[in-house]
């Protein structure tokens, strides 16, 4: 209980390092979620609507990548951006930017598959409606996304949750560097190993509060969708 009290006290005192870690975490999670949804949602719609050769193979690949271990994703990105890798000249290794790239590798397949599952429920009826209104392919895709907006927001929240809870990939490519690439999950792991339970608990409390806020928001959206 004493450690828990100290953790709350640290939060109330707005510890500088604590705030910096929270800021890096939210920045990384926001951009990785945004980019993953911008790529994954249209791709999911294309897969559902499309009738192209190799569609089954594409679905199998995205399904396989849904289960990609985070450390493997981190290793792939590390090899790509290391000094001797094809993108080494960009100097992005051990930065927030490369952490976002690693996160996107993990999250995009999830967004694609969830979007595909949601859109496939009413794609036939909505496509027929779009044809009757002489909609273009682009407008048809926008109609599919619009009519399923509440369900798709839950996909965004899922992507954000996956991003903010990640440890392996971001630790590998980010290096867990103090004041630069340290995020809440990697900091909790480090501080626990060091025996600094107060700091780890403070970060854990923030993670739980963020998860609670996301769940409340998701519940409100589900209630709104049922109306």
Domains of the chain are 2-226 (1.10.3720.10)
Query: Can you give the pLDDT at residue 226?
Result: 60
Q: Say how many CA atoms lie within 13 Å of 156 toward its Cβ.
A: 17
Residue partners of 129: CB distance under 8 A and separation at least 6? 143
Is 170 in contact with 74 (CB distance < 8 Å)?
yes
Name the nearest CA neighbour of 27 among 224, 188, 163: 163
Is 105 in contact with 68 (CB distance < 8 Å)?
yes
Is 159 in contact with 111 (CB distance < 8 Å)?
yes
Q: Please state the pTM of the whole predicted model.
A: 0.89
Q: Is 90 helix (H, G, I), strand (E, B) or coil?
A: helix
What value, to the nearest 5°, has the Cα angle with vertex 167 and ends 172 and 171?
20
The whole-angstrom separation of Cα 204 and Cα 106 is 23
Residue partners of 141: CB distance under 8 A and separation at least 6? 42, 45, 46, 49
Q: Give 10-residue mean pLDDT values along the chain (227 residues).
A: 72 82 93 94 84 80 87 93 90 93 94 88 77 76 79 87 88 90 91 88 90 83 67
Show the DSSP H helices in the chain as ranges: 2-12, 16-49, 55-66, 70-81, 96-132, 137-147, 149-164, 168-174, 184-194, 197-226
Query: Can you give the pLDDT at residue 166?
Result: 86
Query: Can you give the pLDDT at residue 23?
Result: 93
């Amino acid at each position: 209980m004493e450690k828990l009290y100290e953790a709350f006290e640290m939060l109330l005192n707005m510890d500088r390092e604590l705030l910096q870690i929270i800021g890096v975490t939210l920045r990384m999670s926001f951009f990785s979620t945004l980019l993953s949804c911008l790529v994954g949602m249209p791709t999911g719609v294309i897969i559902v609507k499309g009738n192209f050769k190799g569609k089954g193979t594409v679905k199998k690949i995205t399904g396989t990548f849904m289960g990609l271990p985070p450390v493997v994703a981190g290793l792939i990105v590390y090899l790509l951006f290391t000094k001797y890798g094809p993108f080494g000249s960009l100097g992005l290794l051990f930065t927030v930017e490369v952490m976002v790239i690693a996160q996107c590798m993990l999250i995009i397949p999830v967004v694609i598959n969830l979007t595909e599952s949601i859109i496939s429920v009413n794609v036939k009826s909505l496509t027929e409606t779009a044809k009757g209104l002489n909609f273009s392919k682009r407008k048809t895709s926008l109609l599919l996304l619009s009519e399923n907006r509440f369900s798709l927001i839950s996909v965004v929240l899922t992507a954000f949750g996956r991003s903010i809870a990640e440890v392996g990939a971001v630790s590998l490519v980010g290096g867990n560097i103090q004041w630069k690439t340290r995020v809440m999950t990697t900091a909790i792991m480090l501080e626990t190993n060091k025996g600094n339970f107060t700091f780890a608990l403070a970060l854990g409390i923030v993670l739980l509060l963020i998860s609670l806020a996301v769940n409340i928001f998701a519940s409100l959206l589900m209630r709104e969708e049922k109306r």
